Structure 1
Amino acid sequence: MEIDEIRQYCLNKPGTTEDFPFDQHTLVFKVMGKMYALIGLEKWEAGSPTINLKCDPEKAIELRERYPDEIYGGYHMSKKHWNTVVINGPHLTPKQIIHFINHSYELVVSKLTKKQKEELNKL
């Protein structure tokens, strides 16, 4: 998958915005102001594309065990709640990457306040 594909997919999700809250090299996607995906642009430019995604803690452990070379504890993130996913690795398909993005988005949406969820549903 290319970075533009991932970017467009994320931006098409309701309530999603993108910005660079940390530095000019870390692209962050948020739903209603809450992070669900981070992309280190320098890694992409260096040919080692990854994306950090929020994940249910039990599922995170399972995925890391199943794909030890392509999914590991979130780089510079809470390892319990975030995974770093290697894009274009030999075992993960674009469909799986999309599934992981969806899981991250849905996990964050599930934690929004009632008011935020109502606002999101209006978008």
Structure 2
Amino acid sequence: MDVTAIEARLLAHPGATRALHPSWGWMVYWVGGKQFACEFTAAQNAKAPYAGRHLLSLKCDPERIVELRAEFPAAVLPGYYSDGRTWISIDLDDTGVPEGLVLELCDASFDLVFAKLPRRVQREIMQQ
């Protein structure tokens, strides 16, 4: 999967920024001080099924998570180090998930997090 296209999509949203989490080596994407995505490779000694996988974690609607996990059981996992009821981790090396769907899920993650920001913060972001 083209990580460059994914990063471009994540950063195309209003107010979106990224920062490397130095101790973890994860690239974390933010809006209004809230995380909406992260891209990383899980450690080789991480618990199964995450060990060594190149992952993209995104906020996701709980009902959509059930659908995605049923359709792509090997590639869409519960969110790594996050609430698996509201976050997913997508294996970026698995070719089973269409890139277009991953990009749509990036948009949905941003929208879910942005919608929870205070109205004042939303307005400030949209005026930038």
TM-score class normalised by the smaller sequence:
0.7 to 0.9
Q: In percent, how many aligned pairs have the same letter?
A: 26
Shift of 1:62: 1.8
In the alignment, what sits opposite 2:36? 36
Decide whether the 8 Å contact of 2:42 with 2:55 is kept in 1: no
Shift of 1:35: 0.6
Decide whether the 8 Å contact of 2:41 with 2:53 is kept in 1: no
Aligned counterparts of 2:34 and 2:114: Cα–Cα separation in 1? 9
In the alignment, what sits opposite 1:85? 90
Aligned counterparts of 1:22 and 1:77: Cα–Cα separation in 2? 18
Structure 1 residues 53-96: Cα deviation after superposition (integer angstroms, max 9, x where no partner) = 00011211221112111101001111111100112423211101
Structure 1 residues 27-62: Cα deviation after superposition (integer angstroms, max 9, x where no partner) = 10011111110111467xxx8422000001121122
The amino acid across from 1:68 in the alignment is P
In the alignment, what sits opposite 1:73? 78
Distance 1:70 1:41, change over 3 A: closer
Distance 1:91 1:98, change over 3 A: same
TM-score by structure 1 length? 0.87
Aligned counterparts of 1:21 and 1:48: Cα–Cα separation in 2? 18
Pairing of 1:99-118 with structure 2 (within 5 A):
99-118=104-123
Aligned counterparts of 2:23 and 2:66: Cα–Cα separation in 1? 29
Aligned counterparts of 1:15 and 1:89: Cα–Cα separation in 2? 30
Decide whether the 8 Å contact of 2:58 with 2:105 is kept in 1: yes
Q: Larger % of helix: which?
A: 1
TM-score by structure 2 length? 0.83
Q: Which runs of 5+ in 2 are unaligned?
A: 44-51
**Number of residues of Structure 1 aligned to a counterpart in Structure 2:** 121
Q: Using CA pairs under 8 Å that are at least 6 residues apart, name the structure with larger relative contact order, 1 or 2.
A: 2
Matched, 1:58 2:82: no
